[in-house]
C-alpha cells in the first residue's frame, strides 16, 4: 500500500527557544553553546540563521565561532531541560495529527498520515495546519517534507528551510533524488562517502547504478542493502513510536587524567544527574556501563549486566566503580579527556525481530 509520510523539523530549535523567551536577542545572531568546562573549549550546538550568515554552524568549535562573530552576536549556554519541555508540547501537537507517530530527536518527528489524508493535496493542507498551530501556540517555525516514505519525507523537509514545506509525490521521487550529491543521501556520513569516492560515485544516481552485491561486500549485508534501496528512493521503514533503549551522561574532565579518584568524582556527578532523570521517568535497568574517551578521542566502554532489574543509585555507583577499576588495570596508560555513565536494558525491551532481507 502506498503511504503518505510527513517529516517535520523545528527550525534552529535551541536558538529559536531562546529567542522566544528573550525578546531582547531577537533578530541578532544567536549561538547556543555546549561548554566543556575547559578554558576556550566547547562547541556550537545550534546557530540561528543570522549567525549562520556569519559562517557559524552547529559543531563548530567555540574558538572559531567567536572569531567569526560580530559585536551583535549573542552566545548562550544550552538549556536542554527547557528545550525538552518545549519539545514535549510540540510533539504532542504532532502526535494529535497523525495515524502513527515517531519522534526522532528533540526537534524532529515523522507522522504517518496515509489514513487521515488519502491524497497529497490533503496532506499538504494538514502540514500547513500543523505549522500554523505550532506557530500560534508555541511561536516557533518548522520545516516540513511530505513523501511516500520516511527517507523521501526527511530529505524533502531539508529542501526548503526555514519555514518550508516541500511535497514529493511518488512519481517525482526519483527525479528528486537522482541529481543530488551522494553525500546528501540520509545515512551517508563521512566514512561511507570516503569509500564511495573510490568507486567514483558522485550522485545518488551513480549509487543507484551500483549492484547490491558490491555494496554488501563493501558495507555488510544490511547496510549495503539499505544503501541500494535508499538510492532508488525506496524505504519500507514504518513510522513507529520507539521505546527508549539507553540513557547516558558524558562529560569532559577539567584536566586530562588517569587518576581513579578524579575520574570517579566525575562519574559520580554524572551519575547524580542521570539519576534525576531515571527517577523522574521511573526507569529501572539491568545493564550499567562506563564510557571513556582518551586524549586521542578514542572511545572505550565497559559494561556489566546485572541479575535483576534495579533502580538503585548505590548499586549503580558500586558497579561503575568496579568497572572503572578493571578498566584502569587493563589500560594503565590511558589518559582520559572525557568520561561517562550509561544504563540500558529496560524491562519493556523485547528482543528484536528482524523480518527482512529475503530476496
Interface positions with DNA (CB under 7 A): 34, 36-38, 41-43, 45, 58-61, 64, 80, 104-108, 186-193, 220-223, 242, 244-252, 286-287, 289, 297-305, 338, 340, 345, 351-352
| Rounded Cα gap, residues 117 and 126, in angstroms | 8
Based on CB atoms, which residue is closest to DNA, 209 or 240?
240
Secondary structure (3-state) at 187: coil
Q: Taking the alpha carbons of 51, 63, 193, 153 in that order, is the dihedral positive or negative?
A: negative
Q: Least separation, in Å, of the C-beta of 36 and DNA?
A: 4
Based on CB atoms, which residue is closest to DNA, 95 or 223?
223
Secondary structure (3-state) at 136: helix
| Rounded Cα gap, residues 185 and 154, in angstroms | 10
DSSP code, position 171: G
Cell matching residue 220: 555488510
- Residue 322's CB: how many other CB atoms inside 10 A? 14
DSSP H or E segment with residue 353: none
Q: Least separation, in Å, of the C-beta of 288 and DNA?
A: 8
| Rounded Cα gap, residues 162 and 165, in angstroms | 9
Phi, psi of 290 (to 5 degrees): -115, 150
For the chain, list the strands marked E by DSSP.
Answer: 5-10, 30-35, 42-47, 74-77, 100-105, 108-112, 142-147, 165-167, 246-257, 285-294, 299-310, 336-344
Q: Least separation, in Å, of the C-beta of 320 and DNA?
A: 11
Based on CB atoms, which residue is closest to DNA, 129 or 221?
221
Q: Least separation, in Å, of the C-beta of 132 and DNA?
A: 22
Based on CB atoms, which residue is closest to DNA, 23 or 189?
189
Catalytic residue among 108, 124, 138, 319: 108
Q: Least separation, in Å, of the C-beta of 24 and DNA?
A: 25
Based on CB atoms, which residue is closest to DNA, 104 or 313?
104
Is 108 considered catalytic here? yes
Which class for 166: exposed (0-12), middle (13-18), buried (19 or more C-beta within 10 A)? buried
Q: Which residue has the cell 574517551?
A: 293
Cβ pair 143, 160 in contact under 8 A = yes
Based on CB atoms, which residue is closest to DNA, 163 or 221?
221
Q: Least separation, in Å, of the C-beta of 220 and DNA?
A: 3
Which residues are identified as catalytic?
108
Amino acid at each position: 500500500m502506498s503511504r503518505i509520510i510527513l517529516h517535520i523539523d523545528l527550525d534552529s530549535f535551541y536558538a529559536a527557544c531562546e529567542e522566544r523567551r528573550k525578546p531582547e536577542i531577537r533578530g541578532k545572531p544567536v549561538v547556543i553553546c555546549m561548554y566543556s568546562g575547559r578554558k576556550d573549549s566547547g562547541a556550537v550546538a545550534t546557530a540561528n540563521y543570522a549567525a549562520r550568515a556569519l559562517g557559524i554552524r552547529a559543531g563548530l568549535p567555540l574558538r572559531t565561532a567567536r572569531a567569526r562573530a560580530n559585536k551583535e552576536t549573542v552566545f548562550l549556554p544550552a538549556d536542554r531541560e527547557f528545550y525538552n519541555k518545549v519539545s514535549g508540547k510540540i510533539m504532542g501537537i504532532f502526535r494529535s495529527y497523525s495515524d502513527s507517530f515517531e519522534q526522532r530527536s528533540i526537534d524532529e518527528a515523522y507522522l504517518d498520515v496515509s489514513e487521515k489524508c488519502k491524497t497529497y493535496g490533503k496532506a499538504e493542507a494538514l502540514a500547513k495546519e500543523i505549522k500554523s498551530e505550532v506557530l500560534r501556540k508555541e511561536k516557533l517555525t518548522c520545516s516540513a517534507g511530505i513523501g511516500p516514505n520516511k527517507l523521501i519525507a526527511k530529505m524533502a523537509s531539508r529542501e526548503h528551510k526555514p519555514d518550508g514545506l516541500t511535497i514529493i509525490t511518488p512519481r517525482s521521487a526519483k527525479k528528486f533524488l537522482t541529481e543530488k550529491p551522494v553525500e546528501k543521501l540520509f545515512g551517508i556520513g563521512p566514512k561511507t562517502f570516503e569509500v564511495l569516492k573510490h568507486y567514483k560515485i558522485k550522485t545518488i544516481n551513480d549509487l543507484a547504478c551500483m549492484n547490491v552485491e558490491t555494496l554488501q561486500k563493501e558495507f555488510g549485508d544490511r547496510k549495503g542493502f539499505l544503501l541500494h534501496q535508499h538510492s532508488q528512493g525506496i524505504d519500507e521503514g514504518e513510522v513507529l513510536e520507539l521505546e527508549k533503549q539507553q540513557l547516558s551522561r558524558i562529560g569532559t574532565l577539567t584536566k586530562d587524567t588517569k587518576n581513579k579518584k578524579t575520574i570517579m568524582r566525575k562519574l559520580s556527578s554524572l551519575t547524580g544527574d542521570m539519576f534525576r532523570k531515571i527517577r523522574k521517568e521511573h526507569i529501572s535497568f539491568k545493564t550499567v556501563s562506563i564510557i571513556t574517551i582518551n586524549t586521542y578521542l578514542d572511545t572505550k566502554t565497559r559494561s556489566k549486566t546485572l541479575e535483576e532489574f534495579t533502580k538503585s543509585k548505590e548499586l549503580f555507583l558500586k558497579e561503575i566503580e568496579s568497572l572503572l577499576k578493571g578498566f584502569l588495570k587493563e589500560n594503565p596508560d590511558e589518559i582520559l579527556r572525557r568520561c561517562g555513565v550509561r544504563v540500558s536494558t529496560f524491562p519493556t525491551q523485547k528482543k528484536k525481530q528482524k523480518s527482512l532481507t529475503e530476496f
